[in-house]
Protein backbone atom coordinates (compact mmCIF):
# COMPACT_ATOMS: atom_id res chain seq x y z
CA UNK A 1 0.00 0.00 0.00
CA UNK A 2 1.57 3.36 -0.98
CA UNK A 3 2.16 5.66 1.99
CA UNK A 4 0.21 8.52 0.45
CA UNK A 5 -2.85 6.28 0.22
CA UNK A 6 -2.38 5.16 3.82
CA UNK A 7 -2.36 8.76 4.97
CA UNK A 8 -5.78 9.24 3.42
CA UNK A 9 -7.07 6.53 5.81
CA UNK A 10 -5.34 7.97 8.87
CA UNK A 11 -7.55 9.48 11.57
CA UNK A 12 -5.84 11.97 13.84
CA UNK A 13 -7.69 12.88 17.09
CA UNK A 14 -9.16 16.35 17.35
CA UNK A 15 -6.74 18.45 19.39
CA UNK A 16 -8.36 21.79 18.56
CA UNK A 17 -5.28 22.48 16.44
CA UNK A 18 -3.34 21.13 13.47
CA UNK A 19 -1.52 17.99 14.59
CA UNK A 20 0.67 17.41 11.54
CA UNK A 21 1.21 18.49 7.95
CA UNK A 22 2.18 16.27 5.01
CA UNK A 23 3.90 17.22 1.75
CA UNK A 24 3.06 14.37 -0.67
CA UNK A 25 5.14 13.49 -3.75
CA UNK A 26 5.26 10.49 -6.13
CA UNK A 27 7.23 8.92 -8.95
CA UNK A 28 4.82 10.12 -11.64
CA UNK A 29 6.06 13.66 -11.11
CA UNK A 30 9.65 12.44 -10.81
CA UNK A 31 9.85 13.70 -7.23
CA UNK A 32 11.15 11.97 -4.12
CA UNK A 33 10.99 12.69 -0.41
CA UNK A 34 13.93 15.09 -0.79
CA UNK A 35 11.76 17.53 -2.71
CA UNK A 36 9.22 18.24 0.04
CA UNK A 37 12.04 18.50 2.60
CA UNK A 38 13.50 21.31 0.52
CA UNK A 39 10.00 22.74 0.02
CA UNK A 40 9.49 22.97 3.79
CA UNK A 41 12.88 24.60 4.17
CA UNK A 42 12.59 27.08 1.30
CA UNK A 43 8.90 27.85 0.69
CA UNK A 44 6.95 27.47 3.92
CA UNK A 45 6.45 30.74 5.78
CA UNK A 46 6.40 30.42 9.62
CA UNK A 47 3.90 33.28 9.67
CA UNK A 48 1.29 31.26 7.76
CA UNK A 49 -1.46 29.85 9.94
CA UNK A 50 -0.51 26.19 9.43
CA UNK A 51 3.11 26.91 10.35
CA UNK A 52 2.79 29.51 13.09
CA UNK A 53 4.33 28.93 16.52
CA UNK A 54 2.66 26.07 18.41
CA UNK A 55 0.31 25.08 15.61
CA UNK A 56 1.75 21.68 14.69
CA UNK A 57 3.78 19.06 16.49
CA UNK A 58 5.44 17.61 13.37
CA UNK A 59 5.74 18.06 9.60
CA UNK A 60 6.13 15.05 7.26
CA UNK A 61 7.72 14.76 3.82
CA UNK A 62 6.29 11.73 1.97
CA UNK A 63 6.79 9.88 -1.32
CA UNK A 64 5.65 6.45 -2.53
CA UNK A 65 8.09 4.56 -0.37
CA UNK A 66 9.44 6.85 2.31
CA UNK A 67 8.17 8.96 5.16
CA UNK A 68 10.51 11.56 6.62
CA UNK A 69 9.69 13.62 9.71
CA UNK A 70 11.04 17.16 9.55
CA UNK A 71 11.58 17.43 13.34
CA UNK A 72 9.28 19.59 15.48
CA UNK A 73 10.36 22.51 13.31
CA UNK A 74 7.93 25.36 13.34
CA UNK A 75 6.03 24.14 16.38
CA UNK A 76 8.97 25.05 18.59
CA UNK A 77 11.23 27.24 16.49
CA UNK A 78 9.54 29.57 14.00
CA UNK A 79 12.52 29.66 11.63
CA UNK A 80 13.15 28.02 8.30
CA UNK A 81 16.66 27.05 9.41
CA UNK A 82 15.16 24.58 11.89
CA UNK A 83 13.75 22.48 9.04
CA UNK A 84 17.01 20.74 8.37
CA UNK A 85 16.75 18.21 11.23
CA UNK A 86 15.11 15.05 9.92
CA UNK A 87 14.53 11.39 10.69
CA UNK A 88 13.71 8.89 7.91
CA UNK A 89 11.62 5.74 7.58
CA UNK A 90 12.15 3.74 4.35
CA UNK A 91 9.41 1.26 3.47
CA UNK A 92 10.45 0.47 -0.10
CA UNK A 93 11.80 -2.95 0.85
CA UNK A 94 8.83 -3.88 3.02
CA UNK A 95 5.26 -4.85 2.32
CA UNK A 96 3.32 -2.26 4.29
CA UNK A 97 -0.43 -2.39 4.73
CA UNK A 98 -2.50 0.72 5.40
CA UNK A 99 -2.82 -0.32 9.03
CA UNK A 100 0.92 -0.77 9.47
CA UNK A 101 1.79 2.55 7.86
CA UNK A 102 -0.75 4.36 10.03
CA UNK A 103 0.69 2.73 13.15
CA UNK A 104 4.18 3.84 12.19
CA UNK A 105 2.98 7.41 11.61
CA UNK A 106 1.17 7.48 14.93
CA UNK A 107 4.28 6.12 16.64
CA UNK A 108 6.25 8.95 15.06
CA UNK A 109 3.71 11.44 16.32
CA UNK A 110 3.50 10.06 19.85
CA UNK A 111 6.77 11.42 21.30
CA UNK A 112 6.26 14.73 19.52
CA UNK A 113 2.71 15.36 20.73
CA UNK A 114 3.62 15.88 24.36
CA UNK A 115 2.94 19.27 25.86
CA UNK A 116 5.56 21.78 26.97
CA UNK A 117 4.96 25.08 28.78
CA UNK A 118 8.21 26.92 28.17
CA UNK A 119 7.19 30.50 28.92
CA UNK A 120 4.73 32.37 31.09
CA UNK A 121 1.41 32.42 29.24
CA UNK A 122 2.37 29.30 27.29
CA UNK A 123 3.72 31.00 24.16
CA UNK A 124 5.22 34.24 22.87
CA UNK A 125 1.76 35.61 22.03
CA UNK A 126 0.59 35.04 25.61
CA UNK A 127 -2.64 33.24 24.71
CA UNK A 128 -2.46 30.89 27.75
CA UNK A 129 -3.68 28.10 25.46
CA UNK A 130 -2.16 24.67 26.03
CA UNK A 131 -2.77 23.25 22.57
CA UNK A 132 -1.18 19.85 23.10
CA UNK A 133 -2.99 18.58 26.20
CA UNK A 134 -4.57 15.15 25.60
CA UNK A 135 -4.95 13.63 29.08
CA UNK A 136 -7.24 16.08 30.86
CA UNK A 137 -10.63 16.70 29.29
CA UNK A 138 -14.16 17.80 30.15
CA UNK A 139 -15.20 14.26 31.11
CA UNK A 140 -12.41 13.41 33.56
CA UNK A 141 -11.38 16.67 35.26
CA UNK A 142 -14.02 16.05 37.92
CA UNK A 143 -11.58 13.42 39.21
CA UNK A 144 -8.68 15.82 39.76
CA UNK A 145 -6.72 15.23 42.92
CA UNK A 146 -3.47 16.47 44.46
CA UNK A 147 -0.77 14.19 43.06
CA UNK A 148 1.84 15.84 45.24
CA UNK A 149 2.65 19.08 47.01
CA UNK A 150 6.21 20.16 47.56
CA UNK A 151 7.50 22.50 50.24
CA UNK A 152 10.35 24.57 48.82
CA UNK A 153 12.89 26.58 50.82
CA UNK A 154 12.08 29.80 48.96
CA UNK A 155 11.63 32.74 51.33
CA UNK A 156 8.78 35.13 50.35
CA UNK A 157 9.63 38.80 49.82
CA UNK A 158 6.77 41.17 50.64
CA UNK A 159 3.77 39.43 48.97
CA UNK A 160 5.66 37.61 46.21
CA UNK A 161 6.72 33.98 46.46
CA UNK A 162 6.54 31.41 43.64
CA UNK A 163 6.01 32.10 39.94
CA UNK A 164 4.24 29.82 37.42
CA UNK A 165 6.44 26.76 36.74
CA UNK A 166 7.75 26.08 33.24
CA UNK A 167 7.20 22.51 32.05
CA UNK A 168 9.66 20.65 29.82
CA UNK A 169 8.27 17.28 28.81
CA UNK A 170 11.40 15.38 27.78
CA UNK A 171 14.76 16.49 29.18
CA UNK A 172 17.80 14.31 28.66
CA UNK A 173 19.36 14.08 32.13
CA UNK A 174 22.08 11.86 33.60
CA UNK A 175 19.28 9.77 35.08
CA UNK A 176 17.44 9.35 31.78
CA UNK A 177 14.66 11.26 30.06
CA UNK A 178 12.60 13.20 32.61
CA UNK A 179 9.71 15.62 32.58
CA UNK A 180 10.76 18.64 34.62
CA UNK A 181 9.08 21.67 36.12
CA UNK A 182 11.37 24.70 36.34
CA UNK A 183 10.15 26.70 39.33
CA UNK A 184 11.41 30.20 40.15
CA UNK A 185 11.09 31.80 43.55
CA UNK A 186 11.36 35.45 44.56
CA UNK A 187 14.26 34.49 46.86
CA UNK A 188 16.55 34.26 43.79
CA UNK A 189 16.13 30.50 43.70
CA UNK A 190 15.55 28.21 40.75
CA UNK A 191 14.41 24.60 41.09
CA UNK A 192 14.09 21.67 38.69
CA UNK A 193 11.39 19.26 39.87
CA UNK A 194 10.82 15.75 38.55
CA UNK A 195 7.05 15.99 38.05
CA UNK A 196 6.49 12.23 38.11
CA UNK A 197 8.29 11.76 41.43
CA UNK A 198 7.37 15.16 42.88
CA UNK A 199 10.97 15.70 44.01
CA UNK A 200 13.60 18.39 43.46
CA UNK A 201 16.23 17.25 40.95
CA UNK A 202 18.45 20.31 41.41
CA UNK A 203 18.38 23.79 42.93
CA UNK A 204 20.32 26.94 42.14
CA UNK A 205 20.57 30.06 44.30
CA UNK A 206 21.70 33.25 42.57
CA UNK A 207 23.78 35.09 45.15
CA UNK A 208 25.11 38.65 44.89
CA UNK A 209 26.02 41.58 47.18
CA UNK A 210 22.92 43.43 48.43
CA UNK A 211 22.17 46.26 45.96
CA UNK A 212 22.36 49.82 47.30
CA UNK A 213 18.83 50.63 46.09
CA UNK A 214 15.70 48.77 47.13
CA UNK A 215 12.04 49.37 47.86
CA UNK A 216 10.84 50.36 51.32
CA UNK A 217 10.28 47.42 53.69
CA UNK A 218 6.59 46.58 53.82
CA UNK A 219 5.92 47.99 50.35
CA UNK A 220 4.29 45.23 48.22
CA UNK A 221 4.93 47.15 45.00
CA UNK A 222 8.73 46.92 45.10
CA UNK A 223 9.96 43.60 46.51
CA UNK A 224 13.60 42.59 46.31
CA UNK A 225 14.74 39.49 44.46
CA UNK A 226 13.82 37.62 41.29
CA UNK A 227 10.50 39.01 40.01
CA UNK A 228 10.42 37.87 36.36
CA UNK A 229 9.21 34.40 35.40
CA UNK A 230 12.12 32.78 33.48
CA UNK A 231 11.88 31.36 29.96
CA UNK A 232 13.07 28.00 28.59
CA UNK A 233 14.45 27.42 25.09
CA UNK A 234 15.55 24.22 23.33
CA UNK A 235 19.21 23.96 22.40
CA UNK A 236 20.71 22.48 19.26
CA UNK A 237 21.31 19.23 21.15
CA UNK A 238 18.34 16.81 21.06
CA UNK A 239 16.73 16.70 24.50
CA UNK A 240 18.72 19.74 25.60
CA UNK A 241 17.14 22.88 27.05
CA UNK A 242 18.37 26.13 28.55
CA UNK A 243 16.55 28.34 31.02
CA UNK A 244 17.14 32.09 31.11
CA UNK A 245 16.53 33.50 34.57
CA UNK A 246 16.94 37.13 35.66
CA UNK A 247 18.11 37.45 39.26
CA UNK A 248 17.31 40.34 41.58
CA UNK A 249 20.57 42.08 40.70
CA UNK A 250 19.37 42.47 37.10
CA UNK A 251 21.69 39.83 35.65
CA UNK A 252 20.45 37.08 33.31
CA UNK A 253 21.75 33.58 34.01
CA UNK A 254 21.84 30.82 31.35
CA UNK A 255 21.27 27.48 33.04
CA UNK A 256 21.28 23.92 31.70
CA UNK A 257 17.82 22.52 32.47
CA UNK A 258 19.22 18.99 32.83
CA UNK A 259 21.64 19.68 35.70
CA UNK A 260 21.35 23.30 36.88
CA UNK A 261 24.84 24.26 35.72
CA UNK A 262 25.44 27.70 34.24
CA UNK A 263 26.48 27.42 30.60
CA UNK A 264 27.46 31.04 29.95
CA UNK A 265 28.58 34.03 32.00
CA UNK A 266 25.65 36.07 33.38
CA UNK A 267 25.07 39.45 31.79
CA UNK A 268 23.45 42.67 33.00
CA UNK A 269 19.98 43.20 31.56
CA UNK A 270 18.20 45.46 34.06
CA UNK A 271 18.57 47.43 37.28
CA UNK A 272 19.07 45.67 40.63
CA UNK A 273 15.72 45.31 42.44
CA UNK A 274 14.07 46.88 39.40
CA UNK A 275 10.92 44.68 39.37
CA UNK A 276 11.03 43.14 35.93
CA UNK A 277 8.11 41.12 34.62
CA UNK A 278 7.99 37.75 32.85
CA UNK A 279 10.71 37.16 30.26
CA UNK A 280 9.71 36.48 26.67
CA UNK A 281 11.95 35.07 23.94
CA UNK A 282 11.50 35.68 20.21
CA UNK A 283 14.03 35.05 17.46
CA UNK A 284 16.96 34.98 19.94
CA UNK A 285 15.85 38.26 21.52
CA UNK A 286 14.96 38.37 25.19
CA UNK A 287 12.29 40.85 26.33
CA UNK A 288 11.01 42.12 29.66
CA UNK A 289 9.10 45.09 31.05
CA UNK A 290 9.50 47.09 34.25
CA UNK A 291 7.17 49.07 36.49
CA UNK A 292 6.63 51.12 39.62
CA UNK A 293 10.03 52.82 39.21
CA UNK A 294 11.40 50.41 41.80
CA UNK A 295 14.92 51.26 43.01
CA UNK A 296 15.08 54.06 40.45
CA UNK A 297 14.46 51.68 37.56
CA UNK A 298 12.78 53.40 34.56
CA UNK A 299 9.42 52.05 33.36
CA UNK A 300 10.03 50.66 29.87
CA UNK A 301 10.31 47.71 27.50
CA UNK A 302 13.73 46.05 27.46
CA UNK A 303 15.33 43.77 24.85
CA UNK A 304 18.67 42.10 24.25
CA UNK A 305 19.96 39.95 21.39
CA UNK A 306 21.30 36.75 22.94
CA UNK A 307 23.56 36.28 19.91
CA UNK A 308 25.15 39.69 20.39
CA UNK A 309 28.60 39.18 21.98
CA UNK A 310 28.31 42.62 23.61
CA UNK A 311 24.77 41.94 24.93
CA UNK A 312 23.73 45.50 24.18
CA UNK A 313 20.56 46.35 26.13
CA UNK A 314 17.89 48.07 24.04
CA UNK A 315 14.99 49.94 25.64
CA UNK A 316 11.93 51.96 24.77
CA UNK A 317 10.48 54.32 27.38
CA UNK A 318 6.86 55.49 26.84
CA UNK A 319 7.15 58.24 29.44
CA UNK A 320 4.38 56.66 31.50
CA UNK A 321 3.79 54.79 34.69
CA UNK A 322 4.77 51.14 35.04
CA UNK A 323 4.45 48.53 32.29
CA UNK A 324 3.10 45.87 34.62
CA UNK A 325 1.15 43.38 32.56
CA UNK A 326 1.42 40.13 34.51
CA UNK A 327 3.13 38.10 31.80
CA UNK A 328 5.29 40.92 30.46
CA UNK A 329 5.12 41.75 26.76
CA UNK A 330 3.22 39.72 24.15
CA UNK A 331 5.04 39.41 20.83
CA UNK A 332 3.29 39.31 17.47
CA UNK A 333 4.34 37.44 14.31
CA UNK A 334 6.48 40.37 13.14
CA UNK A 335 8.44 40.56 16.40
CA UNK A 336 6.64 43.60 17.83
CA UNK A 337 6.48 43.45 21.62
CA UNK A 338 3.18 44.80 22.96
CA UNK A 339 2.95 46.02 26.53
CA UNK A 340 0.43 48.11 28.49
CA UNK A 341 1.48 51.42 30.00
CA UNK A 342 0.60 52.67 33.47
CA UNK A 343 -0.82 55.93 34.72
CA UNK A 344 0.40 58.99 32.90
CA UNK A 345 -0.46 61.56 30.27
CA UNK A 346 -0.95 61.15 26.54
CA UNK A 347 1.04 63.53 24.36
CA UNK A 348 2.34 61.86 21.19
CA UNK A 349 4.21 65.01 20.14
CA UNK A 350 6.32 64.64 23.29
CA UNK A 351 6.37 60.84 22.93
CA UNK A 352 4.34 60.28 26.08
CA UNK A 353 1.94 57.33 25.97
CA UNK A 354 0.43 56.85 29.42
CA UNK A 355 -2.66 54.67 30.04
CA UNK A 356 -2.35 52.91 26.71
CA UNK A 357 -0.70 50.05 24.86
CA UNK A 358 2.59 50.34 22.97
CA UNK A 359 4.28 48.11 20.42
CA UNK A 360 8.08 48.22 20.05
CA UNK A 361 10.31 46.17 17.75
CA UNK A 362 14.05 45.59 17.47
CA UNK A 363 15.41 47.20 14.31
CA UNK A 364 19.13 46.85 13.94
CA UNK A 365 20.43 47.40 17.44
CA UNK A 366 17.63 49.68 18.62
CA UNK A 367 14.19 49.07 20.13
CA UNK A 368 11.83 51.38 18.29
CA UNK A 369 8.18 52.32 18.72
CA UNK A 370 6.13 50.76 15.92
CA UNK A 371 2.55 51.52 16.93
CA UNK A 372 0.35 52.31 19.90
CA UNK A 373 -3.25 52.46 21.09
CA UNK A 374 -4.67 55.10 23.43
CA UNK A 375 -8.23 54.97 24.84
CA UNK A 376 -10.23 58.12 24.19
CA UNK A 377 -10.96 58.40 27.93
CA UNK A 378 -7.30 58.17 28.95
CA UNK A 379 -7.58 61.29 31.13
CA UNK A 380 -10.36 59.66 33.16
CA UNK A 381 -8.30 56.48 33.50
CA UNK A 382 -5.33 58.53 34.69
CA UNK A 383 -7.43 60.47 37.18
CA UNK A 384 -8.89 57.34 38.76
CA UNK A 385 -5.78 55.09 38.49
CA UNK A 386 -7.55 52.68 36.11
CA UNK A 387 -4.60 52.02 33.82
CA UNK A 388 -4.33 49.32 31.14
CA UNK A 389 -1.94 47.09 33.06
CA UNK A 390 -2.97 43.83 31.35
CA UNK A 391 -0.75 41.75 29.04
CA UNK A 392 -2.63 41.33 25.74
CA UNK A 393 -3.24 38.01 23.94
CA UNK A 394 -2.40 37.89 20.22
CA UNK A 395 -4.07 35.50 17.77
CA UNK A 396 -5.06 34.85 14.16
CA UNK A 397 -8.65 35.34 13.01
CA UNK A 398 -9.90 35.29 9.43
CA UNK A 399 -6.55 36.11 7.94
CA UNK A 400 -5.73 38.93 10.34
CA UNK A 401 -3.57 39.05 13.44
CA UNK A 402 -5.62 40.54 16.25
CA UNK A 403 -5.08 41.13 19.94
CA UNK A 404 -7.27 41.70 22.94
CA UNK A 405 -6.35 43.89 25.91
CA UNK A 406 -8.04 45.17 29.06
CA UNK A 407 -7.89 47.68 31.88
CA UNK A 408 -8.79 48.22 35.52
CA UNK A 409 -11.73 50.22 34.25
CA UNK A 410 -13.03 46.74 33.33
CA UNK A 411 -13.33 46.97 29.56
CA UNK A 412 -11.81 44.78 26.84
CA UNK A 413 -10.38 46.18 23.61
CA UNK A 414 -10.09 44.32 20.30
CA UNK A 415 -7.20 45.62 18.17
CA UNK A 416 -5.38 44.81 14.94
CA UNK A 417 -1.63 44.35 15.36
CA UNK A 418 -1.01 45.99 11.99
CA UNK A 419 -2.89 49.14 12.98
CA UNK A 420 -3.68 49.32 16.67
CA UNK A 421 -6.33 51.98 17.08
CA UNK A 422 -6.49 52.88 13.40
CA UNK A 423 -5.16 56.08 11.84
CA UNK A 424 -5.71 58.16 14.99
CA UNK A 425 -4.46 55.39 17.33
CA UNK A 426 -7.68 55.70 19.35
CA UNK A 427 -10.22 53.65 17.39
CA UNK A 428 -10.29 49.96 18.38
CA UNK A 429 -12.02 47.31 16.31
CA UNK A 430 -14.34 46.90 19.29
CA UNK A 431 -14.64 47.91 22.91
CA UNK A 432 -16.84 46.10 25.41
CA UNK A 433 -19.19 47.84 27.82
CA UNK A 434 -18.13 47.94 31.47
CA UNK A 435 -18.03 44.38 32.77
CA UNK A 436 -17.36 45.21 36.41
CA UNK A 437 -16.02 48.02 38.64
CA UNK A 438 -19.13 50.21 38.82
CA UNK A 439 -17.40 52.21 41.58
CA UNK A 440 -14.27 52.91 39.49
CA UNK A 441 -12.17 51.35 42.25
CA UNK A 442 -8.41 51.34 41.59
CA UNK A 443 -7.51 48.48 43.91
CA UNK A 444 -9.86 45.49 44.25
CA UNK A 445 -11.88 45.64 41.03
CA UNK A 446 -11.36 45.63 37.29
CA UNK A 447 -9.30 43.46 34.96
CA UNK A 448 -5.87 42.53 36.31
CA UNK A 449 -3.11 40.32 34.94
CA UNK A 450 -3.41 39.02 31.38
CA UNK A 451 -5.80 37.90 28.66
CA UNK A 452 -6.30 34.43 27.15
CA UNK A 453 -7.47 33.07 23.79
CA UNK A 454 -8.12 29.72 22.08
CA UNK A 455 -9.70 28.37 18.91
CA UNK A 456 -12.24 25.58 18.47
CA UNK A 457 -11.75 22.95 15.78
CA UNK A 458 -14.53 24.63 13.77
CA UNK A 459 -12.60 27.90 13.66
CA UNK A 460 -14.52 29.72 16.39
CA UNK A 461 -12.15 32.08 18.18
CA UNK A 462 -12.61 32.68 21.91
CA UNK A 463 -11.07 35.25 24.23
CA UNK A 464 -11.21 35.19 28.02
CA UNK A 465 -10.58 37.66 30.79
CA UNK A 466 -10.57 37.47 34.57
CA UNK A 467 -11.88 40.33 36.66
CA UNK A 468 -11.93 41.30 40.32
CA UNK A 469 -14.91 42.52 42.30
CA UNK A 470 -18.62 42.55 41.55
CA UNK A 471 -20.02 42.27 38.04
CA UNK A 472 -21.37 45.55 36.65
CA UNK A 473 -25.18 45.59 37.04
CA UNK A 474 -25.69 46.32 33.33
CA UNK A 475 -23.33 43.60 32.01
CA UNK A 476 -25.09 40.38 31.02
CA UNK A 477 -24.00 37.15 29.39
CA UNK A 478 -26.27 34.48 27.86
CA UNK A 479 -24.88 31.94 30.37
CA UNK A 480 -24.02 32.72 33.99
CA UNK A 481 -23.91 30.91 37.32
CA UNK A 482 -25.32 33.08 40.06
CA UNK A 483 -24.29 36.37 41.70
CA UNK A 484 -20.70 37.54 41.25
CA UNK A 485 -19.34 39.76 44.01
CA UNK A 486 -15.64 38.84 44.28
CA UNK A 487 -14.57 38.12 40.71
CA UNK A 488 -15.13 35.83 37.73
CA UNK A 489 -13.89 34.72 34.32
CA UNK A 490 -15.77 35.92 31.23
CA UNK A 491 -15.58 34.20 27.83
CA UNK A 492 -16.40 35.96 24.57
CA UNK A 493 -16.37 34.97 20.91
CA UNK A 494 -14.58 37.01 18.27
CA UNK A 495 -16.97 37.49 15.37
CA UNK A 496 -17.04 39.35 12.08
CA UNK A 497 -19.97 40.68 10.07
CA UNK A 498 -19.51 42.60 6.81
CA UNK A 499 -15.91 43.37 7.67
CA UNK A 500 -16.65 44.56 11.20
CA UNK A 501 -14.98 42.66 14.03
CA UNK A 502 -16.52 42.54 17.48
CA UNK A 503 -16.53 40.70 20.82
CA UNK A 504 -19.67 38.75 21.73
CA UNK A 505 -20.06 37.74 25.43
CA UNK A 506 -21.04 34.08 25.87
CA UNK A 507 -20.60 33.05 29.49
CA UNK A 508 -19.52 34.26 32.91
CA UNK A 509 -18.21 31.82 35.50
CA UNK A 510 -19.25 31.33 39.07
CA UNK A 511 -18.02 33.77 41.71
CA UNK A 512 -14.29 33.52 42.49
CA UNK A 513 -12.32 35.26 45.21
CA UNK A 514 -10.07 37.51 43.09
CA UNK A 515 -10.24 35.62 39.77
CA UNK A 516 -6.84 35.24 38.12
CA UNK A 517 -5.83 34.71 34.46
CA UNK A 518 -7.07 31.33 33.14
CA UNK A 519 -5.38 28.63 31.06
CA UNK A 520 -7.26 26.71 28.34
CA UNK A 521 -6.46 23.07 27.61
CA UNK A 522 -8.39 20.45 25.62
CA UNK A 523 -11.81 22.05 26.05
CA UNK A 524 -11.28 22.94 29.71
CA UNK A 525 -10.69 26.36 31.23
CA UNK A 526 -8.51 26.15 34.33
CA UNK A 527 -8.95 29.19 36.55
CA UNK A 528 -8.51 30.10 40.18
CA UNK A 529 -9.36 32.61 42.82
CA UNK A 530 -6.14 33.71 44.49
CA UNK A 531 -7.61 34.43 47.94
CA UNK A 532 -5.34 37.45 48.15
CA UNK A 533 -6.34 40.54 50.12
CA UNK A 534 -6.01 43.28 47.51
CA UNK A 535 -7.15 46.22 49.64
CA UNK A 536 -4.73 49.16 49.45
CA UNK A 537 -6.81 51.96 50.99
CA UNK A 538 -9.30 52.23 53.85
CA UNK A 539 -11.98 54.75 54.77
CA UNK A 540 -10.59 55.28 58.25
CA UNK A 541 -6.89 55.58 57.36
CA UNK A 542 -6.60 56.39 53.64
CA UNK A 543 -3.89 54.74 51.56
CA UNK A 544 -2.27 51.94 53.56
CA UNK A 545 -0.77 49.47 51.10
CA UNK A 546 1.26 47.51 53.65
CA UNK A 547 2.40 43.93 53.03
CA UNK A 548 1.99 42.59 56.59
CA UNK A 549 -1.59 43.88 56.75
CA UNK A 550 -2.56 42.34 53.42
CA UNK A 551 -0.82 39.05 54.21
CA UNK A 552 -2.68 38.79 57.50
CA UNK A 553 -6.07 39.26 55.81
CA UNK A 554 -5.51 36.93 52.83
CA UNK A 555 -7.17 33.48 52.79
CA UNK A 556 -6.48 30.63 50.35
CA UNK A 557 -6.61 29.91 46.64
CA UNK A 558 -9.23 27.72 44.97
CA UNK A 559 -8.57 25.95 41.65
CA UNK A 560 -11.48 25.50 39.24
CA UNK A 561 -11.99 23.55 36.02
CA UNK A 562 -14.71 24.93 33.75
CA UNK A 563 -16.27 23.76 30.50
CA UNK A 564 -14.65 26.00 27.89
CA UNK A 565 -17.86 26.24 25.86
CA UNK A 566 -20.30 26.99 28.67
CA UNK A 567 -18.32 27.98 31.77
CA UNK A 568 -19.98 25.23 33.79
CA UNK A 569 -18.00 24.24 36.87
CA UNK A 570 -16.51 20.77 36.43
CA UNK A 571 -14.18 20.78 39.43
CA UNK A 572 -13.28 22.83 42.50
CA UNK A 573 -10.37 22.24 44.86
CA UNK A 574 -12.40 23.64 47.76
CA UNK A 575 -10.17 24.11 50.79
CA UNK A 576 -7.39 21.73 49.68
CA UNK A 577 -4.99 24.57 48.88
CA UNK A 578 -3.95 26.02 52.22
CA UNK A 579 -2.55 29.41 51.23
CA UNK A 580 -3.04 32.21 48.70
CA UNK A 581 -0.77 33.76 46.10
CA UNK A 582 0.05 37.15 44.62
CA UNK A 583 0.87 37.85 40.96
CA UNK A 584 1.54 34.20 40.18
CA UNK A 585 -0.38 31.91 37.81
CA UNK A 586 -1.21 28.43 36.51
CA UNK A 587 0.71 26.03 34.29
CA UNK A 588 -0.88 23.03 32.53
CA UNK A 589 0.87 20.19 30.69
CA UNK A 590 0.59 16.43 30.22
CA UNK A 591 -2.29 15.79 32.58
CA UNK A 592 -1.08 18.04 35.38
CA UNK A 593 -2.10 21.46 36.67
CA UNK A 594 0.38 23.43 38.79
CA UNK A 595 -0.13 26.29 41.22
CA UNK A 596 2.28 27.78 43.76
CA UNK A 597 1.29 29.62 46.93
CA UNK A 598 2.70 32.27 49.24
CA UNK A 599 4.00 29.69 51.73
CA UNK A 600 6.32 28.35 48.97
CA UNK A 601 4.34 25.18 48.40
CA UNK A 602 3.98 23.97 44.81
CA UNK A 603 0.81 21.93 44.20
CA UNK A 604 0.45 19.44 41.37
CA UNK A 605 -3.10 18.38 40.49
CA UNK A 606 -3.87 15.52 38.12
CA UNK A 607 -5.59 12.17 37.66
CA UNK A 608 -4.45 9.17 39.66
CA UNK A 609 -2.40 6.91 37.41
CA UNK A 610 -2.55 9.23 34.39
CA UNK A 611 0.34 11.11 32.80
CA UNK A 612 3.01 8.73 34.09
Q: What are phi and psi of 111, to 5 degrees?
A: -70, -15
Residues 464 and 453 sit within 8 Å (Cβ to Cβ): yes
pLDDT tens by residue, 416-460: 999 999 999 999 999 999 999 999 999 999 999 999 999 999 999
- Which pairing describes strands 586-589 and 241-246: parallel, antiparallel, or unpaired? unpaired
525-548: average pLDDT: 94
Q: How many helices (H) and strands (E) does the chain have?
A: 5, 43
Task: Give which of 172, 173, 167, 204 is closest to 189, Cα–Cα.
Answer: 204
pTM: 0.85
Under the banding of pLDDT at 50, 70 and 90, the label for residue 27 is low
Under the banding of pLDDT at 50, 70 and 90, the label for residue 76 is very low
| pLDDT of amino acid 238 | 87
What's 129-606's CATH class? mainly beta
Q: How far is CA 169 from CA 15, 182, 195, 229, 276, in A?
A: 18, 11, 9, 18, 27
User: What's the rounded Cα separation, in Å, for the pair 14 and 12?
Assistant: 7
Which of 43-52, 53-62, 311-320 reaches the highest mean pLDDT? 311-320
329: which residues sit within 8 A by CB, 6+ positions away? 280, 287, 288, 289, 301, 323, 337, 338, 339, 391
User: What's the rounded Cα separation, in Å, for the pair 346 and 356?
Assistant: 8
Tell me how far apart the 2 most distant CA atoms of the chain are, in Å: 85
Under the banding of pLDDT at 50, 70 and 90, the label for residue 9 is very low
Indicate the domain borders of the chain.
3-112, 129-606
Amino acid sequence: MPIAEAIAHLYLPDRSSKVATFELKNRLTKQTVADPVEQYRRDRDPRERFFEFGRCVVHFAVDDSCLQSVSKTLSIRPRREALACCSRMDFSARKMTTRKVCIVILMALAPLAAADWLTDGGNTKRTAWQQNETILNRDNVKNLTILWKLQLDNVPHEMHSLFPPLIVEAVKTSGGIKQLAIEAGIDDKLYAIDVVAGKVLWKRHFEYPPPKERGDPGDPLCPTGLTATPVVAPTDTPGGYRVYAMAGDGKVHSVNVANGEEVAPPFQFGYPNGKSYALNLWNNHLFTTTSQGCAGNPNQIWAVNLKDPEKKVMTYNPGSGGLWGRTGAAIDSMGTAWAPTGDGFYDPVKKIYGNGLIGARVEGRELKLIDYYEPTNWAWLQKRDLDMQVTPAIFQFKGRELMVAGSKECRMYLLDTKSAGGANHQTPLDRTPLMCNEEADFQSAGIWGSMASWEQANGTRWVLTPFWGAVHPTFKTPISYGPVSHGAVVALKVEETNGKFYLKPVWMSRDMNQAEPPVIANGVVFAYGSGENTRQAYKDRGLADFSPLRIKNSTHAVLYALDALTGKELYSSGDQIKAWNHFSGLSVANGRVYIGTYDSVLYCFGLEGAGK
